[in-house]
Amino acid sequence: MDNNSTCASHQSLEAIRYNKGQLKILNQLLLPTEHQYESILGIKDGWHAIRDMKVRGAPAIAIVGMLSLAVELQPKTFARMADFNKFIKDSLEYLKGARPTAVNIFLACDLINKLTDNLSILGDEGVGAAKTEVIRHIEEMLLKDVESNKLIGRYGAEAILARVANRGKINVLTHCNTGSLATAGYGTALGVIRSLFNLGVIETVYCTETRPYNQGSRLTAFELVHDHIPATLITDSMASLVMKTKNVSAVVVGADRVLANGDTANKIGTYQLAIAAKFHRIPFYIAAPTTTIVLDDSDSIVIEERSHKELTEIKGIQIAPTGINVYNPAFDVTPAELITGIITEVGVFPPNELK
């Protein structure tokens, strides 16, 4: 862990720092008041950073998980290909258990598993080359995420502006955190907002606080202030009124899992925003890389339920009576019919055209 902990507003926004064999993550539990990086020395550190939500956001979860494997793999040597394969498969299975809903880490694990299977043909003599290739492939994931996010931003901005009759400045509403802190950089839904801001068309971004973990007030508001994007923080329960009275042109949010039929799992509260947007005839967009899309018709999305303390306590201070029952799902599923378009790095698609 870095010893220095300073005021966050004076630091650059970089959730993941990686150099060959060294990985540090910004502890997002301490934001917005502290800016502290922690070293990730291997897969156990990676698992706990993901599980404890020191790092969050489906793309960032996948990248940190895979990079934690690369860090642990770097100093290791293997005499046999079978030992190498077992280490990779056991490590990936362990990492998948950190958080069950975000699909990106599952897809990344499948990709590395298939790569390892293909590399088995090299035999025991090629085990060193196989290790090098796996690490190289993981490192490429970091670079590709930033590139895809910038494309998402561009396509999303174009799609939103195409539906605006008056090409003046617009108001946009977003939920949770989908920016540099949730990805390798730039962001998905917040990347769309950054692109709109760079085009000079943002009047105000309305960001929800996103209870119970306050990713909106702690993280999204922090990113918007850092980038000097005009923004207003609202409580989750104010969203319908804001849509009615503040001339919102679009709602854009991220995703943790998108099914082939367009149904989308995202941070709890997304579903009700989509309903409110539909009522107020406001376009509702999902911004997510194609790695978040699962091209099957399964409706068995596992919804993670988190500790009751997230609702009954704030920083250890009890705010609800002892003995009250708590229901705390981390995600909900928005039906495809409420979604205007799904913004990806290859374009914007109606939910029924994902296949």
Q: Cα–Cα distances in Å, from 169 out to 156, 202, 284?
A: 16, 5, 18
Q: What are phi and psi for residue 344, nearest 5 degrees?
A: -125, 180
Q: Which residues pair with 287 in a beta bridge?
A: 343
Query: How many whole angstroms separate alpha carbon 48 and alpha carbon 54?
Result: 8
Do 105 and 98 touch, CB atoms closer than 8 A?
yes
Q: Cα–Cα distances in Å, from 329 out to 223, 277, 310?
A: 25, 22, 11
Q: What positions carry a catalytic annotation?
A: 256
Query: How many whole angstroms separate alpha carbon 106 and alpha carbon 257?
Result: 11
CB atoms within 10 A of CB 137: 17
CB burial of residue 132 (10 Å; 0-12, 13-18, 19+): middle
Query: How many whole angstroms separate alpha carbon 189 and alpha carbon 339?
Result: 14
CB burial of residue 75 (10 Å; 0-12, 13-18, 19+): exposed
Strands 170-174 and 37-40: unpaired
At position 80, the amino acid (one-letter code) is R
Query: How many whole angstroms separate alpha carbon 266 and alpha carbon 169?
Result: 28
